[in-house]
Structure 1
């Protein structure tokens, strides 16, 4: 069971790069010695042209409702004309790798028929996460024989082995088709799985982690943690019809478990959290990130408007 703690941050629209949205929050602890000095929350925000960039706020780790710093510039912005991320760079997953911070992000570009296309890129920070530089101008993963339309929003875990090798696992969104519903092109996407030895070159075989069902037409932002040898995934899921306005069809939080990270069993009834009766997360809950901090487990997530209403958090009891 989760206890909701309310909205933490919503952009005031005063910055040119951040007119609206605090989307896909990711909580990243900043340490001073062995203790967490600040909890930095990265998110995607939009300018007046709806182009996404990455920025962050910092929270008091002893009072997560207390925003102690708001970054006044983007850490990563859209790419050059013609690139896979020319209309936006949305953060997805951060990893500390030695003195570097690796950011797996979603790049946006426009589509005449399907509204948009997405790909997965990698950027690295060498200044403690204040700025990020692209490792490559092109995507690490794009549409393929296994991912017909686009790929997006990866979750990445890595196990460094005693022999010096590493085992990387990725769970990512895979759009397999577009259907025009009520005159609008709607994407259908599930969660697929990939592996790597270096975090850059990924092996895909079309393995599905979380699939469609009678209700589920789209699954948002998988977030995986390992606890007592068990993989636990939180995600959001919705139907494709009227999900922007109809509570019965819109995003809610789901949950699944796995012993190997490859084969998953959905247990949505054990998610332990649902949309509120009214308020900022009454229509939808989406894009969750789960973090274990100081012996507690927290979920950061978006509510109504896909991040337009800001992000909040809940504490697991």
Structure 2
């Protein structure tokens, strides 16, 4: 039940960027995942993660960007190379840089990302790394070879999905933490929950140490916590799914949820506020996932992934005028 007299209704939704349609790069064969907007003077830079063709059935993940004009969202350029090279042999990000969240800090752009590596009993594991750009966000360098946020006693695996924010003088990092792996037939699937950490310098973090969003499904997996402040409250868009049988079952796959908070730590969930579901046909007729929202010229927009967690690319929608 919506007790805040708030609703987020959307219109003009469409496939916004597709590697197959809008780029011709070997390292960007398919997928455009985890979009994140960085506003520039005359254009928007949208970071995302993609994959080249698999080798022996196994993928790696790179991150790049697409620049779009502010006035009409036309594509100006696509990054020619990955913005951050994969990690060295044996490091936490040897096989993937995904997802990627960026923020301006003076003349620099600071980025937090999920770095993943392959494992044996489960397909992968993830830690959160940090990189800095000193050329306006075109290329990045790691602050070090290891992660800035890694496993602990109560967060034993999969720290990923970082979304970096600065509220007042506090750095706030929303992320997901793995709780368990569940077997779906012969395939292990992870269950993860949304958590948060704070920092005074963006490097040393104090974890809140608890799940932020109450689950509504048994073994619910939550991802992509995107938080903004509006009308005196903090709002969170996120996505969630059933732990098993979600890859081919639209009734159990990713959908987008909503929560609000007076202080960005204590959250009340109300998914009815977020009026956004899969379509009847098209690139997003099976799932909607990994939401990211931004404002431009007084309008709020939503970027999101469609089927197969963004295989065709990411979509965009515009908030309806007067929706509150």
Aligned to 1:43: 48
- Is the 8 Å Cα contact of residues 190 and 211 (structure 1) preserved in structure 2? no
Change (3 A) 1:249 1:4: farther
SS at match of 1:17: helix
User: How many pairs were matched up?
Assistant: 306
Q: What's the TM-score once normalised by structure 1's chain length?
A: 0.93
Cα deviation code 1:240-273 (max 9, x no counterpart): 1211111100101111000011110111011121
Aligned to 1:267: 270
Q: Offset at 1:215?
A: 4.5
Name the CA distance, whole Å, in 2 between partners of 1:139 and 1:179. Answer: 26
Cα deviation code 1:66-125 (max 9, x no counterpart): 222222211112100110000011133111000000010000101101110001000000
Pairs within 5 Å for 1:209-224: 209-215=212-218, 217-224=220-227
- Is the 8 Å Cα contact of residues 194 and 207 (structure 1) preserved in structure 2? no
More deviation, 114-123/8-17: 8-17
Aligned to 2:115: 107
Aligned to 1:239: 242
Q: Offset at 1:228?
A: 2.5
SS at match of 2:155: coil
Q: Which has the higher strand share?
A: 1
Pairs within 5 Å for 1:126-205: 126-160=134-168, 166-205=169-208
Name the CA distance, whole Å, in 2 between partners of 1:228 and 1:135. Answer: 36
- Is the 8 Å Cα contact of residues 103 and 111 (structure 2) preserved in structure 1? yes
Which residue among 93, 100, 106 is the counterpart of 1:98? 106
> Quick check: 1:17 aligned with 2:63?
no
- Is the 8 Å Cα contact of residues 222 and 240 (structure 2) preserved in structure 1? yes
Name the CA distance, whole Å, in 1 between partners of 2:214 and 2:117. Answer: 25
Q: Offset at 1:205?
A: 4.0
SS at match of 2:285: coil
Aligned to 1:34: none
Aligned to 2:79: 71
Aligned to 1:89: 97
Name the CA distance, whole Å, in 2 between partners of 1:77 and 1:98. Answer: 24
Q: What's the TM-score once normalised by structure 2's chain length?
A: 0.91
Name the CA distance, whole Å, in 2 between partners of 1:215 and 1:314. Answer: 30
Name the CA distance, whole Å, in 2 between partners of 1:246 and 1:78. Answer: 33
Name the CA distance, whole Å, in 1 between partners of 2:201 and 2:214. Answer: 27
SS at match of 1:153: strand
Name the CA distance, whole Å, in 2 between partners of 1:70 and 1:93. Answer: 17
SS at match of 1:73: coil
- Is the 8 Å Cα contact of residues 47 and 100 (structure 2) preserved in structure 1? no
The unaligned stretches of length 5 or more in structure 2 are 1-8
- Which stretches of structure 1, 4 residues or longer, exceed 3 Å deviation after superposition? none
Which residue among 65, 68, 86 is the counterpart of 1:59? 68
Aligned to 2:5: none
